[in-house]
Structure 1
Amino acid sequence: MDLLKVRKSFGLSQNDIVKITGLSKSMVSMIDKGERKLSEEKTELLKSYLYQKPKADVTAMIDYLVIRFKTLNYKKVINELLKIPDFRFEQGQYGGTGYPFRVEYGEIKVFYHNTDIDMGTRLELKGSACRLFEHFLEEQNRTWQDFLSEVIDFSYSMTKVNGELSENDAQNFLKFNRIDLALDERFNERGNYNLMHLWEKVRNEQIEMKLKGFRPEENFKISEGMLKSLGISLYFGAIQSSIRLNFYEKDREQAFRRNIPVEDIQEIFGYKNRYEIRLKDDKARQVIEDFVRSIPLYDLGVGIIMDYLQVFDETGRPDRAWYDVFGRNKSYRFFTQPTEESLEKRRSWFDRQLKRSLYIEARIARETGRSYVGELVSEYQPDEEDEKIIQRDVERIKNRDFEHEARSTSEGQALLRALGKDDGQFVSETYKRIGKKSEAGRKFLEAIGENDE
């Protein structure tokens, strides 16, 4: 066995090999270099670890999905992507998640803004909405991969000008706010993995993880004078992080929700444990793009868990009972892609780091009439470089708003083709002035209420 090639193929470090085989790190290093050979005994031990097959019956599904499109034309999203006639959606009494308006079909919710292109249209599918949408997908002879592929293609078609595609514009137009992958371990009369054991391993320092933070939860209710557990939930990772794992006893959770015995839940629905992977923003996008490229959901979910959690037994070797659930596959690695555009990078930082603090300060200002943030801003004296950045980004936003609005109608697309410009040279007022010189431009301006002649 070529240890170096095998180790790198499975994403294992030298320390991982040390824990699996019991060899010293210096010996592993020498075997990597070809100075020593791996014994037959250690080779078989490594093979047993690497090629361990899952013993549990585990199914994978999408259980939560949030997508934001930078378009005010929410009906286009409904008709062309969901492929459900928009007249079947009912108007909600209010918006939600910061949006003034909402339409819904059952649990399928579409939030939209009528003026703020940065907020645009938001599609939200919670667990029950995902199951409902799967019925539509089946009727349409489509799959989740088909739908998500069409979502990505839509971002390019909506940002294409004069036949030219812009990767940055397409990326900015479409944001995958969140996707949850759910791996369900089906009930097995011969036994399932006990999540209490995983909790104990955390307490006994037998788990290594890349995530920051761990929180266990267990709720109880009184039944016939006795405390009865409603099941445990194990959260790996912080609430605000871009990846968080949640493992819980789905059979007990459903028994409490439906108010029937847990044994009936196991027999009727086949539920036991659920392993959720909650992904946001860039990590959500990467997983979705890989899923569209035909990597199965199961492989994605298991690969992420394998990469972020390493579980060991009392001897320090990989815990066989844990790996019996999913087997032992190659781990899934995320990559980080730097954001080149300063406007997006600055706002992304605000979104990640300051959203909660700004919300709290805004509420305090509303209750007290004093704005701490406003006071800080008023005290700051911008320099010449600040003014240049402000003017540059104001022009970019005006250009982008106008162009996004233009792309939503055939008249607007004709105007942009006539202009032959998509490089941010003109502010929207300039676009309007030039637009009035052509019939297509005048029709578009009139359609959006901007023809003030």
Structure 2
Amino acid sequence: MQYGVSQTKLAVMAGISREHLSRIESGKVAVTEEMKVKLLEALEKFNPEAPLTMLFDYVRIRFPTLDIGHIIKDILQLNIQYMIHEDFGHYSYTEHYYIGDIFVYTSPDEEKGVLLELKGKGCRQFESYLLAQERSWYDFLMDALVDGGVMKRLDLAINDHTGMLDIPELTEKCRNEECVSVFRSFKSYASGELVKHEEQDKAGMGYTLYIGSLKSEVYFCGLSTLFQTNFFRLFFRYCTGV
């Protein structure tokens, strides 16, 4: 493979068997257009020129206003008539509007104002709206700041598609005091420990590493998934509460 990817890794990423991929490469099996797309998409994830991708994974912004219509229309640039209204809320808010996983909360309390919350799926959905609006995350966040919005929590996720970030290795470096950081503490967790009976079971475990106190406004979180052993995610979190 041009990216130095093994048949097994590419086959797993494309959702086919290694034997089937081998037959495709040797010309023994005709390749459909759908399979070509799958293989190209899978191969691109191993692209050494772009092994890391960054995205917003959580956004929470509070606006000093009770005019929820203004926030939805002028900041989100969405149509409130297409949103569902519920007469209850979270975080002590009394009502909210939502479309998909995009939530906007409000209450009569002027100190609370209007709260926008985008979780992981909400961020992905809002990216589609931004694309249609010909805006970027930068444009949106600048509009929010100009309108007096206060960033209460931002999660930036860096996805490692090629295994550059080895969480167990990073954890070991932290334990050996080889990690150079302004943060003073770290914590690590391994999932599946209760069912880890054999040495080979370790390969199926997930690992999480926190650098910095979870009580501080800023900390990093690195994790590897149980089922995608070559996929890792590093979080940068800024949080000042609701």
Give the TM-score normalised by structure 2.
0.71
* Structure 1 spans left out of the alignment, 5+ residues: 1-53, 156-173, 256-261, 267-271, 282-350, 356-453
In 2, Cα distance between the equivalents of 1:230 and 1:99? 39
Instruction: Please name the residue that 1:212 is paired with.
Output: 184
Contact 2:105 2:115 in 1 (8 A): yes
In 2, Cα distance between the equivalents of 1:248 and 1:55? 22
Matched, 1:59 2:53: yes
Contact 2:220 2:236 in 1 (8 A): yes
Of the two structures, which has the highest relative contact order with CA contacts closer than 8 Å and spacing of 6 or more?
A: 2
Matched, 1:178 2:150: no
Instruction: Please name the residue that 1:245 is paired with.
Output: 220
Q: Offset at 1:236?
A: 1.0
Task: State percent identity of aligned pairs.
Answer: 29
For residues 291-370 of structure 1, the aligned pairs below 5 Å read: none
Contact 1:56 1:192 in 2 (8 A): no
In 1, Cα distance between the equivalents of 2:50 and 2:164? 7
Distance 1:194 1:138, change over 3 A: same
In 2, Cα distance between the equivalents of 1:153 and 1:95? 26
Q: Offset at 1:104?
A: 1.1
In 2, Cα distance between the equivalents of 1:208 and 1:112? 43
Instruction: Please name the residue that 2:145 is paired with.
Output: 152
User: Which 4+ stretches in 1 moved above 3 angstroms?
Assistant: 221-230
The one of 232, 237, 242 equivalent to 1:273 is: 232
Give SS of 1:216's match. strand
Instruction: Please name the residue that 2:65 is paired with.
Output: 71
The one-character-per-residue Cα deviations of 1:181-200 (angstroms, maximum 9, x if unpaired) are 1111113xxx6342211111
Distance 1:239 1:141, change over 3 A: same
Instruction: Please name the residue that 1:88 is paired with.
Output: 82
Q: Offset at 1:227?
A: 4.8
In 2, Cα distance between the equivalents of 1:152 and 1:194? 36
Q: Offset at 1:280?
A: 2.7
* Structure 2 spans left out of the alignment, 5+ residues: 1-47
Give SS of 1:209's match. coil
Structure with the greater alpha carbon radius of gyration: 1
The one-character-per-residue Cα deviations of 1:203-222 (angstroms, maximum 9, x if unpaired) are 21212321232110111074
The one of 187, 199, 218 equivalent to 2:171 is: 199
Bigger drift between 195-204 and 216-225 goes to 216-225
Matched, 1:230 2:224: no
Give SS of 1:94's match. coil
Q: What residue identity is the alignment partner of 1:231?
A: G
Q: Offset at 1:56?
A: 6.8
Give SS of 1:110's match. strand
In 2, Cα distance between the equivalents of 1:193 and 1:148? 29
In 2, Cα distance between the equivalents of 1:72 and 1:129? 22
Give SS of 2:191's match. strand
Root mean square deviation of aligned Cα: 2.6
Give SS of 1:208's match. coil
The one-character-per-residue Cα deviations of 1:256-309 (angstroms, maximum 9, x if unpaired) are xxxxxx37xx6xxxxx1111100134xxxxxxxxxxxxxxxxxxxxxxxxxxxx
Distance 1:273 1:90, change over 3 A: same
Contact 1:70 1:118 in 2 (8 A): yes
The one-character-per-residue Cα deviations of 1:344-375 (angstroms, maximum 9, x if unpaired) are xxxxxxx8xxx9xxxxxxxxxxxxxxxxxxxx
In 2, Cα distance between the equivalents of 1:70 and 1:97? 16
For residues 92-131 of structure 1, the aligned pairs below 5 Å read: 92=86, 94-114=88-108, 116-131=109-124
Q: What residue identity is the alignment partner of 1:100?
A: T
Distance 1:217 1:137, change over 3 A: same
Contact 2:63 2:147 in 1 (8 A): no
Contact 1:56 1:185 in 2 (8 A): no
In 1, Cα distance between the equivalents of 2:197 and 2:186? 33
Distance 1:208 1:78, change over 3 A: same
Equivalent pairs counted in the alignment come to 192
Contact 1:248 1:274 in 2 (8 A): yes
In 2, Cα distance between the equivalents of 1:72 and 1:244? 32
Q: Offset at 1:103?
A: 1.6
Give the TM-score normalised by structure 1.
0.39
Q: Offset at 1:89?
A: 1.4
Q: Offset at 1:152?
A: 2.2
Q: Offset at 1:69?
A: 0.6
Contact 1:234 1:247 in 2 (8 A): yes
In 1, Cα distance between the equivalents of 2:150 and 2:184? 25
User: Hey, which of these two has a bigger chunk of helix by percent?
Assistant: 1
Q: Offset at 1:93?
A: 5.7
In 1, Cα distance between the equivalents of 2:186 and 2:150? 28
